[in-house]
Copies of this chain bind each other. A is one copy, B any other.
Amino acid sequence: MTRRLMEGSEAIAEAAIAAGCRFFAGYPMTPFTELLESFAKKLPGVGGVCVNAESELESIGMAWGALATGARAATGSTGQGIALMQESLSEITRAELPLVLFHMARGQSDYYQATRGGGHGDYRHLVFAPIDLEEATRLVQHAFDLADRWRNPVQIYGDYLLAHTAEAVEIEALRFDPLPPKDWAVDGSLGGTGRARNINPIGMEKGRKGIEPEPFWKRLQAKHDAMERELPRFEAEQTQDAELVVVAFGTLARFARHVVRALRREGRRVGYFRPVTLWPFPSDALRNAVRGAARVAVLEMNAGQMIDDVRLAVLGAAPVVPIGGISHDHSGFGVGPALEPASIVARIADVYGGREAA
């Protein structure tokens, strides 16, 4: 396949289909709408199905049903719609179904929603926050693989910039290790001798009567603990001798990386760190990366959410200073002037020079 100019939404849908996604349901909401439209155009051609549901509650319900049959299925929305899905997201995690959830966010203020959720009980989602379209088309494929491998939902936290910017991309179908058969999927049989494990993967509470809650929850916690150990990913540059390390995620990290590189060229000892997985947060890697730093600066476009995870990683070893904040362009969804490169340089200079207290 050759490189082709595509809008982000289109490329992401193609990557999902390349990964075997055959069912998608969603309800339009900017900036998610174009992703739904892309699936609607592309899925029928591969024998798949895309449904424009009547609300986000219905769309996640439909994806849930498709997943229970063993299909690779996904849904998505923007923050508001994902808020509506919280009960289902929690139950689907408990049912151990491999949902892939596309979150095309309005900015970065849904970090808590993505990493702590708003569903009930203890549950966790693997969350990927791609920096650009090229990374996104690979992470989307990993998302489907890891969702199946861990039997756990995976969220792609994208945004307006990722969904609506056209880039020249080449979608390369990745190869993954074989997966165990989905012997838990419903197939219409009622569980005879040859189908002993055909339990109902609809949910712990509804479908697995007779299961004791405490051992079940402990097993789920153990799985999430293992995910926390094995799945963190990050990108780092020039942290070795950095006096100041800038931490950013998602497409905004592109601005941060650009600024750090420019400052390095000027001889400033700054480094750059980006969590690729928002959960599990790469805490150990960050702790190492900031080992000699005098300060850690957190760039995020919200009132301060990821900074919790940065502080939890650094644990007082260096002051952690916010250099982002609320700043929006005219659409209300994109990056505002206060977070553009020139402003970021100025903020970093302030922190670097110690003019701003932690």
Binding site for B on A (CB under 8 A): 44, 47, 49, 51-54, 58, 61-62, 65, 78-84, 86-87, 90, 106-107, 109-110, 112-113, 116-122, 213-214, 217-218, 221, 224, 302-303, 305, 308, 311-312, 315-317, 326-328, 332, 336
Contacts of A213 in B (CB 8 A): 328, 332
Distance, CA A86 to CA B56, complexed state (A): 13
Evaluate contact between B86 and A83: CB separation under 8 angstroms: yes
A75 to chain B, nearest CB (A): 14
Evaluate contact between B120 and A79: CB separation under 8 angstroms: yes
Task: With A121-B110, A305-B122, A326-B221 as known contacts, state yes or no: A52 contacts B80, CB within 8 Å.
Answer: no
Distance, CA A317 to CA B118, complexed state (A): 30
Task: With A49-B44, A62-B51, A326-B214 as known contacts, state yes or no: A82 contacts B112, CB within 8 Å.
Answer: no
Across the interface, name the chain B residue whose C-beta is closest to A327.
B214
Distance, CA A219 to CA B184, complexed state (A): 49
Evaluate contact between B83 and A109: CB separation under 8 angstroms: no
Q: Which residue in B47, B121, B316 is a CB contact (below 8 Å) of A79?
A: B121
Distance, CA A327 to CA B117, complexed state (A): 22
Distance, CA A116 to CA B111, complexed state (A): 10
Distance, CA A107 to CA B213, complexed state (A): 12
Contacts of A221 in B (CB 8 A): 303, 326
Closest 7 CB pairs of A and B: A118-B118, A79-B120, A316-B316, A83-B87, A315-B316, A122-B303, A112-B116
